[in-house]
Amino acid sequence: MENQNMLSEVRKKAEVWLNSPIDEASKTAIREMLDHNETELIESFYRDLEFGTGGLRGIMGVGTNRMNIYTLGMATQGLCNYLLKQFSDRKEISLAVAHDCRNNSPLFAEITAQICVANGIKSYLFDGLRPTPELSFAIRQLGCQSGVVITASHNPKEYNGYKAYWEDGAQIINPHDVNIIKEVQNIKSIGDVKFDGDKEKIITLGEEMDALYINEVVKQSINPELIEAHPDIKIVYTPIHGTGVLLVPRALKEMGFTNIYNVPEQDVVDGNFPTVVSPNPEESAALDMALKKADEVGADLVMASDPDADRVGIAIRDDKGKLILVNGHQTAALLSYYLLSQWSERGKLSGKEYIVKTVVTTELIADMARHYKVPYWDVLTGFKFIADIIRKNEDTMTFIGGGEESYGFMIGDFVRDKDAVASCSILAEMAAWARSRGKSMYDILMEIYLNFSCYQESLINVVRKGKSGAEEIQQMMSEFRKNPPSELNGSPVVTIRDYLEQASTNCLTGAKTSLNLPQSNVLQFLLEDGSKISVRPSGTEPKIKFYFSVSGKLEKREDYKVVKEGLEKKILEIQQELKLN
């Protein structure tokens, strides 16, 4: 009965679309689903796309649960309606639009700008694909009230997305995101969307904005004299068919690096990502071609950015000269160590500087912050929450940097979102700093583990697609709340943090304290031995994520392999107890 009711509701939604002012190709696709494909009909219409941690994101196609010009149009109309109310006292409201390399991204970007123009909002549109961080920068540079970037970040090729930004250059958070959704929901039909904006009124952004942005990236350099002394470090960089191809090599050259190698096949801008299964630098296979090139030329550092150039994955050479991949926790730790140590050595720490990390990111960063007596914040997953901390402190404190385990990092506050262009630039500078000390990047990683603790992190993604998958994910979270583990791998669970209930429970006493963070469907189990297990549904993909963090003391560098293997074994045993492998 429930399935029949759902099918009936889905058919009604599809019929509404069929009788709305949409193009004939879309109507044909809907008729095909209505007549011959109930499964696809349900998946396409059973819900409306909503803003998650990364905005609006979904598989491209026809329907309310798909990315297309109509769902995008309704989102944009809702955004325009909200901007017109929120800034009703302004003589002029403006918005900037950018897009990545994905299929339909240029079309989606142009339609977004047209709708804004039709609503009387001044619209800026980049003349071609651009990195997401440059959109964040442009909003602040132009004094816009909002911005939109068309991207699905590192998702597979069938996805696209729509990230909305506020006037501070950060992704939209509560209450604005909730209020925009309400405005979208108030739009009763596609016919309510003003699609007919005059293209001639759209203002083009190009090289001038690129130059301003790159100039700010170069300003983040801490030790430019070290680059001048070691400009010939061999670097292999790949944009994996995405927007980084435009600005990452340029930024590295303007920083002073002279030995930059590309991967020609992956410099080709292509939304089908023909050389990789997934354009995600978190996945080792995405770097295969870059690693091969690095061995051919003897490169010291490999860097790869995702399609919208906000995430970066890297590889460095170990003590045997072999290229090894560095995970997101380690990259964030390397960048944090370089920034904190160099700010300290240069006498730039006055007590009013700070860093930020997310609750699922390595505690190694917190250890460093305490060592350098620099305040740090833990925030929920998503750079919009890091940007919120910057916004709250920008008049009294200085943001050094911050990041998360999923290969994103932000350096300085000129951009209010993760930035692979700046991250690549400072990672390259860090390689020059290491060489100036007679060391490699791997040596620096060992130095960090010896000075603090040796951390090992792991992530398991349990994928559950479609409506039934979403329900299964919610059931898994519910079960963890009802029956949380009392111990894992022989170590008692001493604290449970439930960010949905906004409470931290002491498992020994039962005492609860408040978590001063927004509500979010995240659970954390802290063990007596210092291990941390975090569980949360993804806000942008059909998966539930399990994060594992364990640590141990590294007394001697020679012991690293043994200590690492012991920590990996501990993670594996915890995963087995949770029945995840």
What is the full DSSP assignment across 329-367?
A: HHHHHHHHHHHHHHHHHTT---S-EEEEEETTS-THHHH
C-alpha angle 152-358-410 in degrees, rounded to nearest 5: 65
Residue partners of 10: CB distance under 8 A and separation at least 6: 41, 42, 45, 46
Q: Which helix (H) or strand (E) holds 305?
A: strand 301-305
Between the alpha carbon of residue 568 and those of residues 55, 523, 545, 574, the distances in Å are 34, 22, 18, 10
User: Angle formed by the axes of helices 207-219 and 244-255, to 10°?
Assistant: 50
Give the Cα separation of 243 and 307 in Å (integer).
6
Secondary structure letter of residue 273 according to DSSP: -
Secondary structure letter of residue 172 according to DSSP: P
Enumerate the β-bridge partners of residue 305: 312
Confirm if 496 and 503 have CB atoms less than 8 A apart.
no
Which entry of 123, 153, 305, 538 is annotated as an active-site residue? 153
Other Cβ atoms within 10 Å of 278 Cβ, number: 16
Confirm if 59 and 66 have CB atoms less than 8 A apart.
yes
Question: Considering only CA atoms, which of 404, 254, 235 is closest in space to residue 336?
Answer: 404
Secondary structure letter of residue 169 according to DSSP: S
3-state secondary structure 394-459: CCCCEEEEEEECCCEEEECCCCCCCCHHHHHHHHHHHHHHHHHCCCCHHHHHHHHHHHCCEEEEEE
Give the Cα separation of 332 and 407 in Å (integer).
8
Confirm if 77 and 119 have CB atoms less than 8 A apart.
yes
Length of the chain in residues, anyone?
Answer: 581
Residue type for position 536:
R
Give the Cα separation of 271 and 61 in Å (integer).
15
For residue 106, the SS3 value is: helix
Q: Is 478 a catalytic residue?
A: no
Between the alpha carbon of residue 104 and those of residues 60, 429, 430, 505, 543, the distances in Å are 9, 36, 37, 47, 25
Catalytic sites, residue numbers: 153
